[in-house]
Structure 1
């Protein structure tokens, strides 16, 4: 059983090791912190922490470093997150406030989160199962070339250029646009692909060859929006922290290339209340072994799109990370993103 003072010793060991990357010794703790006890007493506390496998000696040095279990205890005891500074909050508002659509706001969010944490930042697109079609636009670029535009209620814009087998009459194009919007407007994306087949079938055979490229393009756009996807930024940060991966950084690099693996990890974290602190789920080291991330930590939280869908964003990095700052940044960006999308 670790005493309250022992847990405080663990806290300062984690904080000092994160800051310096150097093993922490009892003399350093006594000199830097006002525990009011001797170095011998601190050494006894550290011995108990080592027995509980919360800290370990990396080599013959007298200093100790936190273990995965030690980081877990440290995170679980975090009652307050270090607040973001005023410049950090201002940067979020300025950088995010000029976003123009869903793609842009998610891209900005993941880049900003990477800058704030100096880790790999990840953001999941909303699953869009309840997202609806706001409007379909069809723009004639040339007599036989069109631009199809899908706009969702969450502000996502998907557009493609297509060619038709022959020239399209502007009046027929107006009719096609009106029919598609009448059929798809307000319809959930999960139902839109099926409805497009009905639109195609509603035209006479002599018009089908003109309508089919349009409905095919829109169907592909709808299906693309229904796929789970990740955006990622800051992979270069892993190279700067390569020393923090005792084995090899390559398994981590391989793992983050597998979006299916990351989506599964995010999904499990969303349902695991044991790792939840201050609204942020934290999975540390060996807890991620099944995903090829046994030497990494992952922090994530949810955000809401304007359609009410919940997706996740977070950061990935070495177990030696500033958990308090990174958790605060993840939570702040998620809250601002939810507010921004809610206004869309």
Structure 2
């Protein structure tokens, strides 16, 4: 059983190791922290922490560094979130305000978060399967080419090129637009996808009108299917190369997870959040996902009723209190912007 002072010693070791990247000894703890006891007493506390596998000596006659278990205890019981400075909060606002659409907003979000923390930043798209299609527009480019625009009620906008028979004409285009709108507008992405699938499965009819409807419907079907798929945006992958010394082994599994995304999406989905919407998965806890040397921390944001996560990926040696505070602040700001956008619609 670790004493209260022993846990505070663990806090000191984690904080000093994150700051210095050097193993922490009892003398350094006495000099840097006001425990009011001797170095010998601190050494006894450190011995107990080592027995509990919360710290370890990386080599003989060295100081101690936290283990993955030690980081977990620190995050669960000892870490106090550090409030962001006014400058940091202003930076978040300047990055996120004035975004054009959801894609732009989420891209700005990860850039802001990686700049604040120096870690790889990740944000999940909210689930669009229950989003409603609010608008379908066709823009004629001439020569049988049109832009198909689909808009949802949570800010997702898509633009795709489709081809139609060149003899369709303005009246035919209006009829096609009305036909598609009747199947999609006001319906959820899921319902709209089914309506399009039923149309494409029905027997084809002769004439330019049916050919145009089917051509555009096939493009819309691809787009709605993408709406339903889990997606994420990332920024800051280069930080892994700059911090490669923080990883005991190769950073290749992390780079692979970033490129594939499926692993990270699954990990983020399975993480259990606390009452503030924050979650952390540390080191060996990520072994089933091939990320045993990394930590992932996340916060939840609300996209008009659909919950998704924004977070960070980095080495286990990270500044958890500051990074968790940054994730929480960005998640709250993102939720607020999406709520304001919804009210403005």
TM-score of the superposed pair, with normalisation by structure 1: 0.94
Please name the residue that 2:257 is paired with: 255
Alignment of 1:136-147 (within 5 A): 136-147=136-147
Please name the residue that 2:104 is paired with: 104
Aligned mates of 2:205, 2:248 — CA distance in 1:
67
2:319 equivalent to 1:322: yes
Alignment of 1:57-68 (within 5 A): 57-68=57-68
User: In structure 2, do the counterparts of structure 1 residues 6 and 278 end up closer, same or farther at CA, with 3 Å as the change threshold?
Assistant: farther
Aligned mates of 1:48, 1:185 — CA distance in 2:
65
Aligned-pair CA distance for 1:199: 5.8
Please name the residue that 2:159 is paired with: 159
Please name the residue that 2:13 is paired with: 13
SS in 2 for 1:77: helix
Aligned-pair CA distance for 1:242: 0.6
Alignment of 1:271-290 (within 5 A): 272=272, 276=274, 278-290=276-288
Aligned mates of 1:318, 1:198 — CA distance in 2:
48
1:143·1:167 contact (CA, 8 Å) conserved in 2?
no
Please name the residue that 1:303 is paired with: 301
Aligned-pair CA distance for 1:82: 0.2
TM-score of the superposed pair, with normalisation by structure 2: 0.94
Please name the residue that 1:215 is paired with: 217
SS in 1 for 2:95: helix
Please name the residue that 2:235 is paired with: 233
CA RMSD after TM alignment: 1.7
Aligned mates of 1:130, 1:85 — CA distance in 2:
37
Aligned-pair CA distance for 1:185: 1.1
Aligned-pair CA distance for 1:278: 4.3
What is the number of equivalent residue pairs in this alignment? 339
Aligned mates of 1:313, 1:123 — CA distance in 2:
4
Runs (5+) with no aligned partner, structure 1: none
Aligned mates of 1:64, 1:323 — CA distance in 2:
19
User: In structure 2, do the counterparts of structure 1 residues 61 and 185 end up closer, same or farther at CA, with 3 Å as the change threshold?
Assistant: same
Aligned-pair CA distance for 1:30: 0.7
Please name the residue that 2:206 is paired with: 205
Aligned-pair CA distance for 1:129: 2.0
Q: Give CA deviations for 1:126-171 in whole Å, capped at 9, x if unaligned.
A: 1212111010000111141111001111111100112223232112
Aligned mates of 1:167, 1:302 — CA distance in 2:
50
